[in-house]
Amino acid sequence: MTRSITILGATGSVGASTLDLIRRERDKWQVAALTAHQSAAELAKLAIEFDAQVAVVSDETCLPELREALSGTSIEAASGKQALCDAASRKVDMTVAAIVGCAGLAPVMAAIEQGGTIALANKEALVSAGDVMTAAVAKHGATLLPVDSEHNAIFQCLSGNDIDEVRWITLTASGGPFREWTQAQLDAATPKQAVAHPNWDMGAKISVDSATMMNKGLEFIEAHHLFPVGLDRLRIVVHPQSVIHSMVEYRDGSTLAQLGPSDMKVPIASCLAWPKRMETGCAPLDLPAIGNLSFFAPNEALFPATKLARDAVHAGGAAPATLNAANEVAVAAFLAGQIGFTQIAAIVAETLESGIGTAPASLEEVLAVDIAARQRAKTILETL
Ligand code: NAD
Ligand code: MG
């Protein structure tokens, strides 16, 4: 039996790993839509290889290039934000949400409304929309499967257990490339150094988030929405080897952990095949070669982002969407060489202090908070 699949953000790091897995089981999948932001030529190549029904570039200026590259095929070419949502709302068995940032929120909501299974990598969408997204999942009978490796690990550790008996959910963090750096070194950190992650090969934005630890902050909020055990039962531990992807401790003292190679193909495969399993081609874990696993408490004096995120989710309302939007603006400015590394968290903190709006109750209201917070963050940035 074949299953239909749409990949939002097909040209990115998670998109590429997903398509690699589909290549292994090509006869099991029928590709509906593939989307990208601007990489029209790359998208067209993938759409042809996977015989997609439609290819969408969200940047409208890239449509002529996409049309040209798809001419002579029966693949539909489309562009723009509405076309992206239209593609996401096609009825499919599985949607892989792998767009980076809040730009992925509207298409994820469109995918949720068609009621299928959503494999969610796009954590920023859930952080920003929070209850608005989880309510839509319930309303439309959709299934949300976490692709993020920590959340996928927790999902696996909760399987067959009662969530009411959880004592702790522990998110592991690699600590990023700057884990052992001093304040002075962090102040001078460059984009090139920040995107060179020791364990994971990822897109630029999440790599910077990993270096600031904002990635773990966003994941803390993501975990809160996916696994409602209460904020006081969620904690973060630094585990530099990235072998244990997260853990769940139960009230009897049993801790379940999921271990695996640091390759996103493992959690993506877990979603694609769920509740079964599939081959990934990843090398098995070689524990004697790894030797030691170590654990540390996060250093929030040097890496304040996890505290900012924790405070934002405790505050609730518009704070998580504000945190995410300000972070997206600050990370883009850092990658463009406009600000220093440690200014990222400072801009997020200052944007949060200015208090953007009230609790959003709909997609439109979340997007309004997102826009307002971006404007505020940009104003703060200009005064630096
Ligand atoms: P990436 O930058 O490699 O790819 C992003 C994809 O989104 C590309 O296809 C790009 O064309 C598309 N895109 C970018 N901006 C867009 C916009 N404005 N509108 C529409 N499409 C847009 O990113 P990635 O590393 O694959 O990460 C994707 C998501 O998955 C992020 O939310 C990230 O936090 C999450 N994630 C990634 C990893 C990883 O290992 N890369 C691990 C866990 C979670
Ligand atoms: Mg993760």
Instruction: Please indicate whether residue 37, judged by its CB atom, sits closer than 6 Å to ligand 1.
Output: yes
DSSP string, 329-383: HHHHHHHTTSS-TTHHHHHHHHHHHT---S---SHHHHHHHHHHHHHHHHHHHHT
Residue 305 lies in a domain: no
Evaluate if residue 7 carries a pLDDT over 90: yes
- Looking at the fold, whether 131 and 156 belong to one and the same domain comes out as no
Residue 263 lies in a domain: yes
The residues that bridge with 180 in the sheet, in sequence order, are none
pTM for the full model? 0.98
For 101: left if phi > 0, alpha if psi spans -120 to 50, otherwise beta; the answer is left
Instruction: Please indicate whether residue 100, judged by its CB atom, sits closer than 6 Å to ligand 1.
Output: yes
What domain count does the chain have? Answer: 3
Instruction: Please indicate whether residue 39, judged by its CB atom, sits closer than 6 Å to ligand 1.
Output: yes
Instruction: Please indicate whether residue 122, judged by its CB atom, sits closer than 6 Å to ligand 1.
Output: yes
- Looking at the fold, whether 8 and 128 belong to one and the same domain comes out as yes
State how far the Cα of 82 lies from the Cα of 373, in Å rounded to an integer: 23
Which of 58, 100, 268 maximizes ligand 1 atoms within 8 Å of its Cβ, making it the mutation to test the pocket?
100
Taking only the tens place, the pLDDT of each residue in 62-114 is: 999 999 999 999 999 999 999 999 999 999 999 999 999 999 999 999 999 99
- Looking at the fold, whether 291 and 344 belong to one and the same domain comes out as no
Structure tokens at 202: 């990822």
- Residue 155 has a pLDDT of 98
- Residue at token pair 């319930």: 138
Residue 378 lies in a domain: yes
- Looking at the fold, whether 158 and 140 belong to one and the same domain comes out as no
- Residue 199 has a pLDDT of 84
- Looking at the fold, whether 154 and 142 belong to one and the same domain comes out as no
- Domain stop point among 129, 146, 163: 146
Distance 207 CA to ligand 2 centre (A): 10
- Looking at the fold, whether 213 and 268 belong to one and the same domain comes out as yes
What CA–CA distances, in Å, run from 174 to 207, 223, 241? 11, 17, 7
Taking only the tens place, the pLDDT of each residue in 168-185 is: 999 999 999 999 999 999
Q: Whose CA is nearest to atom 4 of ligand 1?
A: 12
Percent of the chain residues past pLDDT 70, beyond the cut: 100
Which among 95, 133, 101 has a CA at the least distance from the CA of 114?
Answer: 95
Note down the domain range covering 158.
150-300
- Looking at the fold, whether 155 and 281 belong to one and the same domain comes out as yes
Residue 56 lies in a domain: yes
Contact in structure between 4 and 30 (CB atoms under 8 Å): yes
Taking only the tens place, the pLDDT of each residue in 340-374 is: 999 999 999 999 999 888 999 999 999 999 999 99
- Looking at the fold, whether 129 and 167 belong to one and the same domain comes out as no
**What is the interface pTM, i.e. ipTM, of the complex?**
0.99
- Looking at the fold, whether 233 and 323 belong to one and the same domain comes out as no
**pLDDT interval class at 384 (50, 70, 90):** confident
For 278: left if phi > 0, alpha if psi spans -120 to 50, otherwise beta; the answer is beta
Evaluate if residue 9 carries a pLDDT over 90: yes
Instruction: Please indicate whether residue 14, judged by its CB atom, sits closer than 6 Å to ligand 1.
Output: yes
- Residue 197 has a pLDDT of 82
Looking at the chain, list the stretches that DSSP marks H as alpha helix, in order from N- to C-terminal side. Answer: 13-24, 40-49, 63-70, 81-88, 105-113, 123-129, 131-140, 149-158, 183-187, 191-195, 204-212, 214-226, 265-273, 287-290, 305-315, 319-335, 343-353, 363-382
What's the whole-number mean pLDDT along residues 125-140? Answer: 98
Closest-lying ligand 1 atom to the alpha carbon of residue 148? 43
Q: Which residues surround ligand 2, an ion (CB under 5 A)?
A: 148-150
Residue 21 lies in a domain: yes
Question: Residue 105 belongs to a domain with what CATH number?
Answer: 3.40.50.720
Phi, psi of 112 (to 5 degrees): -60, -40
Instruction: Please indicate whether residue 55, judged by its CB atom, sits closer than 6 Å to ligand 1.
Output: no
Contact in structure between 159 and 146 (CB atoms under 8 Å): no
Which among 61, 58, 51 has a CA at the least distance from the CA of 31?
Answer: 51
Percent of the chain residues past pLDDT 90, beyond the cut: 97
- Looking at the fold, whether 273 and 320 belong to one and the same domain comes out as no
Evaluate if residue 10 carries a pLDDT over 90: yes
What's the whole-number mean pLDDT along residues 298-317? Answer: 98
Phi, psi of 44 (to 5 degrees): -60, -40
- Domain stop point among 146, 165, 196: 146
Residue 310 lies in a domain: no
Residue 70 lies in a domain: yes
Distance 219 CA to ligand 2 centre (A): 7
Mean pLDDT, the chain, rounded, equals 97
- Looking at the fold, whether 282 and 339 belong to one and the same domain comes out as no
Residue 257 lies in a domain: yes
Taking only the tens place, the pLDDT of each residue in 187-231 is: 999 999 999 988 888 999 999 999 999 999 999 999 999 999 999
- Looking at the fold, whether 114 and 16 belong to one and the same domain comes out as yes
Evaluate if residue 59 carries a pLDDT over 90: yes
Distance 95 CA to ligand 1 centre (A): 14
